[in-house]
Structures are given as structure tokens and as C-alpha cells.
């Protein structure tokens, strides 16, 4: 079986990866699990949250993305990210300037979030054509004081902050700028490139969690909003019902997706945050997010029946919520 670009299919994770995890350690409170983007390690009176992510589909601002995407995963536990390890793999022919650009981006992004970059690795990699940055972020909290992406409960309301396809919009606007100049006005193209400034969900996650009533959080990266909802539902063994009209899609995203013939709901969406919460806590969460100038809306709810993954279209028609085989960013980038 030839693997699609991006994340490997969930069945291979379960059949192969999760069966080869080395030794068992009593300190591991939460290990690898489908839909959960981090581990929890017991440090006595503290819980250490650890997560790792690569940046592979973007070239411009790759260092900035590496810090923020990894920080986001820790923040979805309701924990402030504090430390970062990084591995920089540079293409053949890379020079000092490339190292400086990526390192500077990472340093500035980390400083903005209060994160210390504490180690890693940097190399020029034979036959590599584009830089790859792999990050490992960590944060600490009082023992047990965190949520996971697997914590959703039946009848929980599903909240989405910001909009669909944020990261994908920014990547395509930067990496396919020449092509998109024929489709977007200069203002729209500039706005789309500036979506990078909305990539962080640290404030979203910490604000929501401190409001109370949050059961689970997840940032929809590869696979977009649709993939993120499936991952949360998989992790909690639940179904979901989502309303298309409640999911905000910015005009820039809509035009770019139309140009590349891709689905904004299946486009990498770092910068958005999926939150599940008790129905009685929803209004307080929304109000606190609003006070932080963070757009948010209830887009659906979780269901008892795990086989029910539904998307209610704007016209009222109900269909299966699409499960991305591969993020639609790769579909767009593969176009010549």
C-alpha cells in the first residue's frame, strides 16, 4: 500500500505504530493514542505535556510555523507551552543565510509565547529539496490538571474558534503567489498571506480552559476542520453532528479553495481550535473568548452513536462528514 502525502492512515497507526512502542514506563500517564497530539508524563507532583510536529508543506516562515504549531498542541491540553526542542533538516546547497532566517523566525516566535528553545539538531540533508523543521514542545502543570482531545462526552457542544483553513490559506498565498495574482486582488492576496499572524491557538486554548466546563480541545492541523472533528470523535468513541453554516470561511480562503478545487473544511487549519464543553458552560466560554477578541461559534455537538458523523449542509441536507484521506493542501501543491 502506497501511503498518501501527510499523516499516515489511522488503521496503520493502530496496526503498526501503536504496537511498537518500546518499553513500558510507569511515568507515562498518557501515551500514543489516535486523535491525541501529545503525551503526559508523571513527574511526581507535576504533569509534563510533550508534543511533536514537523513542518513539511511550507517554505516561507517555516521557523515561525514550527514553533507555533508545536506550542498549539501543548496548549490544547490547557497547559502553557514552556520549552522547545527543534530539528532542522536543510536541503542540499543550503547556506548560512537559510540557517539564520529559520533560526531567527523560531527565536522571535518562541519569545512571543514565552518559550525557551533548549536544544535540538541542525543538518544539511542529502537529496532533500525543501527545508523540514521538526519541533518538540513541552509544558508543565499541576498533576492531573489538564484536558485531552479524547475527553469529549455525548451532548457536548462543539465550539470552533476563528475560521477554516487558516494555515493552508497562508501557505498557498505565499508559495503560489504568482499563480494566485490572477485570481485574487492585491489586497486579498496580502490578507491571505497575513493569515500566518493568526496561527497560534495558545490564547484561545488557555482562555477556554480557564472558563471551566471544557472536556476536550484539539487544533485541526492536517485534514482541516473535518479531520480534526473525526480525530476527536475517534479518540472519544463518539459521533458528531456539524452544521456547515456555522463554520466560518474567510473570503480569501473560499477564493483560493475554489481556484485549486479543494475543500476548505479539509484544508490544514492551524490557528483554529476545536473545543468541546458542557452545554451549560458554552455561553461563558464564548463570552470570555470574545473579550480576548477571539471569534468563536458553536458549530455542532457530539453524539452517543460513534457511527454517526454528520454534516448538515446550508440547504438542510444531511450527509456524511468527509474524512480526509490526505490534507487538501497537498492536492493544491501538486498542481503544476
Residue pair 215/159 in contact (Cβ under 8 Å)? The answer is: no
Domain 25-142 fold: 60s Ribosomal Protein L30; Chain: A; (3.30.1330)
- What is the C-alpha radius of gyration for the chain, rounded to an integer number of angstroms? 19
pTM above 0.75, yes or no: yes
Residues 5-63: tens digit of each pLDDT? 888 888 899 999 999 999 999 999 999 988 788 999 999 999 999 999 998 867 778 99
Residues 242-276: tens digit of each pLDDT? 999 999 999 999 999 999 999 999 999 999 999 99
pLDDT at residue 6, as a whole number = 81
330 vs 263: CA distance, rounded Å: 12
Q: CB neighbours (10 Å) of residue 22? A: 5
pLDDT at residue 229, as a whole number = 97
Task: Give the class (CATH, top level) of 157-333.
Answer: alpha beta
Domain boundaries, the chain: 25-142, 157-333
What are the residues facing 117 on neighbouring strands?
A: 84
Q: Look up residue 322 and give its three cell numbers.
A: 468527509
pLDDT at residue 23, as a whole number = 97
Residues 219-242: tens digit of each pLDDT? 998 899 999 999 999 999 999 999
55 vs 138: CA distance, rounded Å: 17
Amino acid at each position: 500500500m502506497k501511503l498518501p502525502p501527510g499523516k499516515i492512515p489511522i488503521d496503520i497507526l493502530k496496526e503498526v505504530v501503536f504496537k511498537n512502542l518500546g518499553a513500558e514506563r510507569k511515568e507515562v500517564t498518557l501515551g500514543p493514542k489516535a486523535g491525541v497530539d501529545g503525551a503526559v508524563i508523571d513527574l511526581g507532583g507535576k504533569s509534563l505535556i510533550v508534543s511533536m510536529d514537523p513542518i513539511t508543506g511550507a517554505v516561507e516562515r517555516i521557523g515561525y510555523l514550527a514553533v507555533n504549531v508545536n506550542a498549539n498542541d501543548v496548549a490544547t491540553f490547557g497547559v502553557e507551552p514552556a520549552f522547545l526542542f527543534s530539528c532542522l533538516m536543510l536541503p542540499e546547497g543550503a547556506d548560512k543565510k537559510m540557517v539564520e532566517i529559520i533560526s531567527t523566525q523560531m527565536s522571535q516566535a518562541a519569545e512571543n509565547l514565552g518559550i525557551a528553545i533548549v536544544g535540538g539538531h541542525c543538518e544539511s540533508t542529502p537529496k532533500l529539496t525543501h527545508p523540514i523543521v521538526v519541533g518538540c514542545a513541552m509544558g508543565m502543570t499541576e498533576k492531573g490538571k489538564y484536558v485531552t482531545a479524547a475527553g469529549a462526552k455525548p451532548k457536548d457542544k462543539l465550539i470552533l474558534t476563528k475560521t477554516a483553513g487558516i494555515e493552508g490559506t497562508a501557505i498557498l498565498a505565499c508559495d503560489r503567489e504568482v499563480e494566485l495574482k490572477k485570481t485574487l486582488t492585491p489586497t486579498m492576496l496580502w490578507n491571505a498571506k497575513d493569515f500566518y499572524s493568526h496561527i497560534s491557538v495558545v490564547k484561545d486554548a488557555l482562555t477556554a480552559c480557564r472558563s471551566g466546563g471544557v472536556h476536550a480541545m484539539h487544533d485541526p492541523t492536517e485534514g482541516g476542520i473535518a479531520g480534526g472533528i473525526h480525530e476527536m470523535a475517534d479518540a472519544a468513541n463518539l459521533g458528531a453532528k456539524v452544521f456547515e453554516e456555522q463554520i466560518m470561511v474567510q473570503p480569501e480562503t473560499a477564493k483560493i479553495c475554489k481556484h485549486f478545487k479543494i475543500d476548505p473544511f479539509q484544508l490544514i487549519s492551524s490557528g483554529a481550535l476545536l473545543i468541546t464543553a458542557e452545554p451549560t458552560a458554552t455561553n461563558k466560554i464564548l463570552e470570555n473568548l470574545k473579550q480576548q477578541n477571539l471569534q468563536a461559534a458553536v458549530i455542532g455537538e457530539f453524539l452517543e452513536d460513534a457511527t454517526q458523523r454528520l454534516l448538515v449542509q446550508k440547504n438542510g441536507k444531511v450527509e456524511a462528514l468527509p474524512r480526509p484521506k490526505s490534507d487538501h493542501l497537498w492536492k493544491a501543491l501538486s498542481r503544476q
